[in-house]
Every structure is written in C-alpha cells, then in structure tokens.
Amino acid sequence: MTYVVRTARDPAASISAIQDAVWAVDRLQTFYSVATVEQLLSDTLAARRFTTTLLSSFGLAALVLAGIGIYGVIAVATAQRTREMGLRLAMGAEPRDVVRMVVGGAVGLAGAGVGFGLLATLFASRALVSLLFDVSPTDLATLAGVSLLLLLVAAGAAYLPARRAARVDPLVALRME
C-alpha cells in the first residue's frame, strides 16, 4: 500500500505521527520506504541528469577541441601564406582587409561544416528524442543558437592568426622563402 501525505511541518518530524495514524487503522502495516516527493523525483531523474551532464561535458570538450583545431589549421595556413599577405599589404591592402580575409575564410569553412552538421542532425534526430525534455531535436532556436556559437568559435579561433598576418612587415614577408 502507498500513502501520500501532505504536511506543513518538516517531513522527517512527521514520520512518527504518520506511523501512529496508520497503525491506529491497521497495526500490521510496515513502513519500508519513506521519502518526500522531491526525493522521489530526484531519484527518478538521476539517470537522466547524469546523462545530460555527461553529454554536456562532452559537447563542451568537443567545442574547445574544435576551437583549438581551427586555430591550429588557420595558424598554419596563414603562416604558409605569409608571402601572399605581405604582397597584399605592400600593394596597399589595409591590415583589417587581411584580417577580414582570413577570418572570413575560416568562417566560410566552418559554415560549410555547420551546414553538413545540420543535415546530419536532421537524419540522426530520431535517436535523440528520448534524451531531450521539452525540446524537439529539430528545434529551430536550438539549432540556430548552436550554429551561431560554432561560427563564433571559428571566428574567434581565426582572429589571432589573422591579426598576426595583418601585422607582418611587407618587406620581410617578400624576402621570405
């Protein structure tokens, strides 16, 4: 038998009074699990909360690794194009134009990756339904927010190499071989 009792007092302090009331009706009733609704909900949702925390941690780690990877790729690509950047600057390009070119290229590549990721999400969304609460796996606001976040990470990761490329001395860059 299950009893649900509402009390204005502390639930732990009410247990003996509740036991006495139940035993007044049936002395053979035993108490084996006394818990508040909050405890029952917490126990019920513990597995989902753990899964959500774990997946969020993996997502954050993936985002950090993606940022580091983009930074590394753009830094190497920009270093390989130092001569080109120097030539552009020598021909009259403004440093902000060089920054815009490098960051724009990185964001363009990241945009292509986000596009492919969105397509993959649409196909894989059925597997995610059981893990989401009150959000559909194809929720437009969520997909747009995550896409924007990834593009911002790509722009941020590309900004440092782009700034370094914009500061290159055109004469030094042209002499490099």
Structure token pair of residue 126 = 């059925």
| Residue 125: inside a domain | yes
Region of residue 29 (left: phi > 0; alpha: psi -120 to 50; beta: else): beta
| Residue 35: inside a domain | no
Q: Please tell me the distance from the alpha carbon of residue 130 to that of residue 116, in angstroms, as a whole number.
A: 23
**Contact, 88 vs 166, CB < 8 A?**
no
CA 72 to chain CA mean position, Å: 21
Residue 100: predicted pLDDT = 95
| Residue 88: inside a domain | yes
Domain that holds residue 89: 51-175
| Residue 38: inside a domain | no
DSSP assigned state of 10? -
Residue 177: predicted pLDDT = 56
**Contact, 86 vs 169, CB < 8 A?**
yes
Residue 25: predicted pLDDT = 85
Q: What's the structural domain count of the chain?
A: 1
pLDDT in tens, the chain (177 residues): 777 788 888 888 888 888 888 888 888 888 777 888 888 888 888 988 998 899 999 999 999 999 999 999 999 998 888 888 888 888 888 999 999 999 999 999 999 999 999 999 888 887 777 777 777 777 889 889 999 999 999 999 999 999 998 888 888 777 775
**Contact, 79 vs 172, CB < 8 A?**
no
Residue 159: predicted pLDDT = 94
| Residue 21: inside a domain | no
Q: Tell me the pLDDT tens digit for each residue of 68-93.
A: 999 999 999 988 888 888 888 888 88
| Residue 59: inside a domain | yes
Angle of helix 82-90 relative to helix 37-80, nearest 10 degrees, comes to 70
Residue 113: predicted pLDDT = 94
| Residue 41: inside a domain | no
| Residue 19: inside a domain | no
Residue 12: predicted pLDDT = 80
Residue 11: predicted pLDDT = 80
